Chains A and B, each alone.
Chain A
Amino acid sequence: MQNQYELMVIFTPILNEDELKRLVGEYVKYIEDNGGELVHQEDWGLRQLAYEIDHKTTGIYHLFEFKAPGSLISELELLLKRDDHVMRFLTTRLDKYAVEWNKTRRERKAAKANEVKETQTEEA
C-alpha cells in the first residue's frame, strides 16, 4: 500500500554544488528503484539554522515528497543515518489534508512565481 511521505534533509553547508546534486540524485534514485515514486522536490538552499547543529550555524535544506510502501522508509533512513553529509533529516507521513495543503502550497508558489515573471517582462 503506497503511503505519501515527506522527507526534509539538512546537508552540511560545506558541500559544493555538484556534490549536492550527486547526493540528492542518489536518494531520488534509491526511492525510484525501490518502488517509490517522487511527487515533488524542493530545494531551499543555504539557510540560517535557529540553533547550532554540530557547531554549524547554516545548512542546506532539501525537501522530498514521494509515494512509497512503508517498508522502504526504514532502509532509506538507515542510508541517511550512515551518510555523514547529512546533518539531520525528518520523514513525516502525510494524511489527506497534508497532501491537499502541499498541492495548494505548490500552486500558490507557482502563481507567485509567474506573477513575478510577468512584472519583470512588463518592466523589461
Chain B
Amino acid sequence: MANNKQDIKFLSSPNIGKTTKKYCRFKKAGIRYVDYKDPEFLKKFVNEQGKLLPRRITGNSLKFQRKVSVAVKKARILALMPFVTDQYK
C-alpha cells in the first residue's frame, strides 16, 4: 500500500489551470521607446498573418501597446513589415 506522493501518477500535469503572471516586458526591461526600424523585434507582437496581437496575449501595458501599434504601422508604411501575409514568423 505504498501510495505516498511519489507513486501517484497524474494523467495530466498539475499546473494546467494555473495562469502565469503576465508582465509588461517594456516596464521590466526599462525600454522607453519602440523603434519602428527594427522589424525583428516587432515580429513578437504580430501573428502569422502579420496582424497586431491583442494586449491580453502580448501582456503589454496600455501605454506600450499603443507605442508598439504605432511602430508596427510605421514599419508597414516603409515596407519593413507586410500588411497581410501568411506564415510570416
Which residues of B lie under 8 Å from residue A121 when comparing CB positions? none
- Chain A interface size band reads 10 to 19
How far is the CB of A72 from the nearest CB of chain B, in Å? 21
Contact of B74 among A10, A59, A90, A100 (CB under 8 A): A90
Q: A88-B77, A90-B77 are in contact. Are A50 and B37 (CB under 8 A)?
A: no
Is A63's beta carbon under 8 Å from chain B?
yes
Which residues of B lie under 8 Å from residue A98 when comparing CB positions? 33, 35
Is A53's beta carbon under 8 Å from chain B?
yes
- The CA-CA distance from A112 to B77 in the complex, in Å, is 29
| Inter-chain contact B79/A100, CB cutoff 8 Å | no
How far is the CB of A97 from the nearest CB of chain B, in Å? 4
| Inter-chain contact A8/B37, CB cutoff 8 Å | yes
Interface-central residue, A8, A50, A53, A63, by most chain B CB under 10 Å: A50
Contact of B33 among A51, A61, A90, A101 (CB under 8 A): A101
B interface residues with partner A (beta carbon < 8 Å)? 32-33, 35-37, 39, 74, 76-83, 85
A interface residues with partner B (beta carbon < 8 Å)? 8, 10, 49-51, 53, 59, 61, 63, 88, 90, 92, 95, 97-98, 100-101, 105
Q: Which 10 A-B pairs have the closest CB atoms?
A: A97-B32, A49-B79, A97-B33, A50-B82, A101-B33, A98-B33, A50-B79, A51-B82, A50-B81, A90-B78
